[in-house]
Structure 1
Amino acid sequence: MEFQTKREAIRARKKALGSFLAERKLSSPSSTTWRCCATTFSTRNAMLEHASRFHAKEIEILVDRGQKTTRFDSNEESDNDWPLSPTDETSPRIDEIKGALTKHVDAWKTQTSSNCDLVILFYKYADFEKPTRVATWQRRLCERLRLRGKIRVATEGINGTVGGSLTSVALFVDVILSHPSFLDMMVDDFKSSLLGETAFPAGLEVRVCEEIVPLEKPKDAVSYKNAGERLSPKEFHERVLEIQKDTLASDTTVLLDCRNYYESRIGKFDFARAPNIRKFSYFPEYFDRNEEFFKGKTVLMYCTGGIRCERASAYLKSKSLCRDVFQLSGGIHKYLEQYPDGFFRGKLYVFDERKTIRSNDDVISNCFYCGYPWDEYEHCTTVGCRQLVLSCERCRDSGKTHCCDVCKQGPLPKKEFCRCTSQRQRIPDEHS
């Protein structure tokens, strides 16, 4: 942006820096310390120097008020403009987005976090004819805003988890919501929690995939367009309460966890049926094997953020066996924002280096070795094994860090499973 006078440019930069520092000032009104990038700064000059060195791009975005959109390079084909900047970075809309994103952050109990830094989960099922263009747009946008995370793009839509400063995240959300392909999304469709200090050590990864969440079923036959009816967290809570109180409802309604076993092991809804499956792509086979159990029943489905339920519910509906199929809108994440002490107990597994976030203090799982209540996952320490292990501090200190006896013997041959994986029943049977 070219300012008419040098004074205007200086004023704009001061305003941007002031906004940047204000959101990182610690909560006490009389505080003279700031928190950013897991570091506390005791003087304003030190914080300004840090901002200038490591957050120059964010400040540039705030200063560059006149820039509306940025097109791809002219040598790249494009059917649309893919904006890299908000329509107005200093508008009240950005403050509204910040407020909406931080409204429920206090619901999450976290031990380590960076002040005002957030992780957001989002997805959008849509028809992208050329997903590579969307991926390039997302990569450039995140790089410009200094966001880290993982994003999957496919012809069926987009699925992302990104994290960074509150300003960058709010600007990212504003750009997404301003694009014609996402006009039916709202700020509430972005699930937010505190970033922590090690959520995305690998930086940014944007990939073009066959599916935005792998179900391994034809997208035309099992389409998100035929998904089960969405229930708000309030409506879902009332349905679960009905199951708890009414014996007949509990006999005719199935509360179904669509996640993997290692997720439900450490946190799930009371009364939920959690399939002991290792991958979401096994879910259709799980349902097919247990058709008699589900026949004629009403199914209430849930997952982490809602994306898996979209196509899982569509698969159930395609079988025409269940009486009704419902899904929790926004998933466990949105439910816990409204009901942190509701029917979901334990931790919520997330797919970044934080591994879990929690809204209550319940521990529903145990140490693999001694049975002590424990819900903090670590990876098996055997080279070549990526199994998650629940081993309490006492057991880990004594060297019990493996998932099974095979892994205790040493590194696994390439592409071979350890015993606990190879002997796991792929699809469990539901008998009652």
Structure 2
Amino acid sequence: MKLRVAVIYGSRTCEHDVSIVSALQAMDNLDKNEYDVVPVYIARDGQWYTGQLLRNIAFYSAFRPQLVNHVAPVMSDDGKLTLMPVSSIAPHGFKGMIKVLMSNMNLGEDTVEKCDVVLPVMHGMNGEDGTLQGLLELFNVPYTSSGVLGSALGMDKIAMKQFFRGCGLPVVDGMWFSRAEWQENREGVLARVEASCRYPMYVKPANLGSSIGISRATDRESLIKAIETAVEYDRRILVERGIEKPVEINCSALRIKGEVRASLCEMPASWEEFLTFDDKYLRGSKSGKGQGMESLARKVPAPISDELTARIRQMTQQVYRAMDCKGVVRIDYMLDGDDLYINEINIIPGSLAFYLWEPLGISFKDMLDCMIEDAFAAHAEKNRSVFSYDSSILRSVQGGLKGAKGGKLGGGKLGGAKLGGSGKLGGRPGV
């Protein structure tokens, strides 16, 4: 019997359209002899849809929801992602939905789809950031991307850089601040930025990918403009020292038969100051080859020394393990002369980075097979853990909840540690 694979994509994110392209690529490359593919599209307004019309890219240019199935994901007791028609829930209102969620899902003909495994192909917020992964964890459904921890770290550039520093990896100097701080005290923020980083510098929204909202600042005027752009996209802003003549090197990682493998390294051939959104996704599209990151001009393998290649591949495997990743990821590095810096990890990379594996004899189809196999292995390993504990807490408080007050955890304080606000990355305590 074929496995039913739900490919989930789209969502409320600036990278919505990129996600559609990557998802359609993945659906076209799933082995038709092994899998039944169920497209699950999350529209810009957060509504979920399924139906085979969603596999046609032309359908999205004039999206007509009445032609596909409007569904809602619900919990099932069989470990499968269950998609229920919204029309069967709506007549009962909110109480009807709660009843469905609590009923162990004996839905019969009302069920549109039941899927054995989920292939998330989400880029950016509300999907790649751990939100979808958390839902799938609660539903106890196997899925192919990294879990909540790795996904959340991979989305937030500030937390990500602090994590890299904690792993002893080389990171470009930077600092961060909040949108509220910028609105309250611009001069103070500018002074802190200029004290921490020299020009040129890069200003980045903390929680966006695909180079959206990123600007290069060469003086105070362009810095102000860059910050104004970034705060439109996010409430936390990262500023990093610019590299004069940067060279980008990328490497992917994937678990194959239980072993974390690193791909060949690539060097984007069109790299100038940094790759913009258009560089990554629109160049070459007029020729019909603009299929996401696949169409970007690149040199594979990257023209770098064997020693540097080995170092990058080792670091890629190290990060994959440290962040408890799953599925395929891509890690981007920066070369500044002889100095190597880790830039960021892409938890669900554009085009799923299949082009970095093909030269090693691993086709897109083979890569997807490995990801699905890894999803089931991770799911089985998770379910080996104990999720219940026979405690006397509830019995002890039957006489009244006031009796439990003395059982506060740590007096309500985190070990006396003060949680700091914005500041220098990897610098002082409280950051």
User: TM-score per shorter chain, which class?
Assistant: under 0.3
Normalising by structure 2, what TM-score? 0.25
Normalising by structure 1, what TM-score? 0.25
Q: Which has the higher contact order (CA 8 A, sep 6+)?
A: 2
Structure (1/2) with the larger strand percentage: 2
